[in-house]
């Protein structure tokens, strides 16, 4: 009988210890904080020959599994439900076949926008006074706007630009949207 009481007491102590260890794991997850640089799927678009005016490209829709990205970046400890903040850091446009007379210097201004399956309101960033220099890469700077509501699985992109000089040959442009995600447990 005494052995039975000792056994029960031992089991209660073990169960209590196990419960305490689970509690400390939960507390440890609460302290996790990751600042992740994320790039959604890079897309390639065609800039058509355009003699004057405005060039509009899109919409182009892609899929990107943000939850899988977060899991991979945090050792499977956090996921999409742990997102605290999302900021767009930049949009990088690269003309893959630019020439001396067909490049970003042809553009007076450039706009890039996106929306997702979780927020259908287009979010736009732009360069309003683009210099007339012969360059094949143009970076549109991000800002501090909170974009957490845009995180989904489908992203749709649009580009446009006002020309200062004609585009006389078809150009291929790679578009890369870069984000800063803060996730925490």
Regarding whether 49 and 25 lie in a shared domain, the answer is no
CA angle 121, 46, 91 (to 5 degrees): 50
Regarding whether 74 and 9 lie in a shared domain, the answer is no
pLDDT in tens, 103-115: 999 999 999 999 9
CA angle 30, 19, 22 (to 5 degrees): 30
Regarding whether 85 and 10 lie in a shared domain, the answer is no
CA angle 112, 36, 184 (to 5 degrees): 120
Regarding whether 143 and 77 lie in a shared domain, the answer is yes
Regarding whether 87 and 8 lie in a shared domain, the answer is no
- pLDDT classification of 20: cutoffs 50, 70, 90: very low
Regarding whether 173 and 101 lie in a shared domain, the answer is yes
Regarding whether 91 and 58 lie in a shared domain, the answer is yes
**CA-based nearest residue to 55, from 149, 176, 169, 139:** 169
pLDDT at 6: 57
Regarding whether 160 and 133 lie in a shared domain, the answer is yes
Report DSSP letters for 13-38, one per residue: HHHHHHHHHHHHHHHHHHT-EEEEEE
What's the domain range around 11?
Answer: 1-30
Whole-model pTM: value is 0.82
Regarding whether 105 and 21 lie in a shared domain, the answer is no
* Count of structural domains, the chain: 2
pLDDT at 27: 47
pLDDT at 7: 53
- Please report where in the chains the tokens 């020439």 appear, as a residue: 99
pLDDT at 12: 47
């Amino acid at each position: 009988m005494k052995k039975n009481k000792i056994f029960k007491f031992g089991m209660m102590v073990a169960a209590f210890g196990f419960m305490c260890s689970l509690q400390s794991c939960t507390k440890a997850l609460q302290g996790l904080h990751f600042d992740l640089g994320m790039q959604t799927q890079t897309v390639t678009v065609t800039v058509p020959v355009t003699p004057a005016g405005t060039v509009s490209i899109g919409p182009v829709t892609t899929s990107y599994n943000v939850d899988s990205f977060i899991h991979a970046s945090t050792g499977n400890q956090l996921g999409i439900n742990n997102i605290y903040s999302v900021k767009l850091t930049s949009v990088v446009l690269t003309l893959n076949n630019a020439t001396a007379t067909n490049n970003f210097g042809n553009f007076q201004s450039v706009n890039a926008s996106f929306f997702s399956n979780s927020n259908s309101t287009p979010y736009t960033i732009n360069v309003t006074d683009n210099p007339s220099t012969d360059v094949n890469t143009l970076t549109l700077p991000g800002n501090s706007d909170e974009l957490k509501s845009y995180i989904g699985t489908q992203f749709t992109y649009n580009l446009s630009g006002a020309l200062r000089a004609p585009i006389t040959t078809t150009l291929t442009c790679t578009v890369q949207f870069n984000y800063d995600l803060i996730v925490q447990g």
